[in-house]
Amino acid sequence: MNSSKLTLCLVFCLALGACNKSGFRGKSSTDGGSGDVNGAVDAAASGPNAVTDTITISKNVDLVIALDSSGSMDEERAAVSVNLNKLILALQKGSLDPRIHLIAGREEDDDEAPVTGPVFSFPPDVDAGKVALIVQEIGSHDALGHVSQTLSGAYAARYQNVKGMVMNPPLAFRPEAKLEVLVISDDNGINGQGAANTMGGNTAKDFDPMNKWKATVSGVIGTPTSMQAAGLCQIAAVGQEYITLAAQTGGSILDICSPDWSMIIDRFTKDVLKRSQSILLSREPLNPDKLLVTLGGKVLSQDAWVYDAATRLVTLSAKVAVTAGLELKVNYEAKP
């Protein structure tokens, strides 16, 4: 092409406003679909209520399980023990890399001889290097307080391996891992009621108030509909504090009285996987249709993610190729 034709082409291109560095306006490309980068960036929120939430995608999940060992759990204890092992194995056989910190003890009766034997028996085919038992009795109302103690490192000396031997150093929490908490109880969190419940931090408003650990809290608990199962499974109280925390953190609530634990296991393992590819928005967006979602610096089209207004979670769709280490960002204008 001679110089006069090249000049004419450039003038024509600029007049149409259709040139980028390659001479044409194009779209970014990702494995999960993309939008018009220029248009999306132009639409990004930048005012006084603009928010950008960011996480780094990781296949690592650190799960803290708090198992109620109080007397009211007697009806559920056998089913919980068997199915908790199934849940642990299901998580370990999935596509994630979970480390499981199980807080469990045994309610002691002063009028009876101490119960001997292991506090909890892990399944024989468990990956022993990725599970640990924190030997600590959890009462009817103090599960969240013991979770806080575990996360802070206060229970480091109580860690045991699958053989019941002291684990030193204890199973570590990974800074890049998604932190999940699962409470299994037929009761509710209460602060400071009764001589046996002097620990604080057992209610939703007191647990992790500064959002230090950014944990997602779930519960296999008594739900409002569990009361209808009286006779098959008698709960002590609805776990309202855990229901509240699950709503605040995007967690899962599952019925401890469910006759089919396979549904609980399947639902929770799928939810954990989904949350590993999700980001919890710190504020409520003014207009969810104007969220700007980027993965690894590339803008994703709206069919590559889903926003759930009830939980404030933005979740990548199954068609998006997710690689550990990529940065997932959501830019939006928050409600005042």
Whether 214 maps to a domain, the answer reads yes
The verdict on 174 and 295 lying in the same domain is no
Confirm if 256 and 222 have CB atoms less than 8 A apart.
Answer: yes
pLDDT in tens, the chain (336 residues): 454 444 434 344 444 343 332 222 222 333 444 444 445 555 688 889 999 999 988 899 999 999 998 888 887 777 888 899 999 999 999 989 999 999 998 765 444 444 445 688 999 999 999 999 999 999 999 999 999 999 999 999 999 999 999 999 999 999 889 999 999 999 999 986 654 556 889 999 999 887 888 899 999 999 988 866 556 678 999 999 999 999 999 899 999 988 888 999 999 999 999 888 899 899 999 999 999 999 999 999 999 999 999 889 999 988 888 888 899 999 999 999
Torsion angles phi and psi, residue 264, rounded to 5? -65, -45
The verdict on 146 and 291 lying in the same domain is no
Whether 175 maps to a domain, the answer reads yes
The verdict on 231 and 210 lying in the same domain is yes
Alpha-helical regions (H) of 25-117: 37-43, 74-92
Output the CA–CA distances (angstroms, integers) from residue 85 to 80, 121, 171, 316, 325, in the order listed: 9, 9, 18, 29, 30
Q: Residue 118: which CATH number? A: 3.40.50.410
The verdict on 50 and 119 lying in the same domain is no
The verdict on 194 and 301 lying in the same domain is no
Q: What is the pLDDT of residues 91-146, one digit of tens each?
A: 999 989 999 999 998 765 444 444 445 688 999 999 999 999 999 999 999 999 99
The verdict on 84 and 212 lying in the same domain is yes
Nearest 5°: the CA angle 283, 284, 290 is 110
Nearest 5°: the CA angle 240, 242, 245 is 110
Whether 19 maps to a domain, the answer reads no
pLDDT at 44: 82
Whether 237 maps to a domain, the answer reads yes
pTM above 0.85, yes or no: no
The verdict on 65 and 203 lying in the same domain is yes
The verdict on 80 and 186 lying in the same domain is yes
Helix (H, G, I), strand (E, B) or coil at 5: helix
pLDDT at 172: 97
- Domain of 97 in residue numbering reads as 60-276
The verdict on 48 and 72 lying in the same domain is no
Confirm if 234 and 257 have CB atoms less than 8 A apart.
Answer: no
Burial of residue 21 (CB within 10 Å: 0-12, 13-18, 19+) is exposed
Whether 297 maps to a domain, the answer reads yes
Confirm if 92 and 102 have CB atoms less than 8 A apart.
Answer: no
Count up the domains in the chain and report the number. Answer: 2
The verdict on 192 and 327 lying in the same domain is no
Q: What is the pLDDT of residues 255-273, one digit of tens each?
A: 998 888 899 999 999 999 9
The verdict on 285 and 272 lying in the same domain is no
The verdict on 189 and 48 lying in the same domain is no
> What does the CA dihedral 65, 306, 223, 282 come to, rounded to 10 degrees?
70
Confirm if 140 and 184 have CB atoms less than 8 A apart.
Answer: no
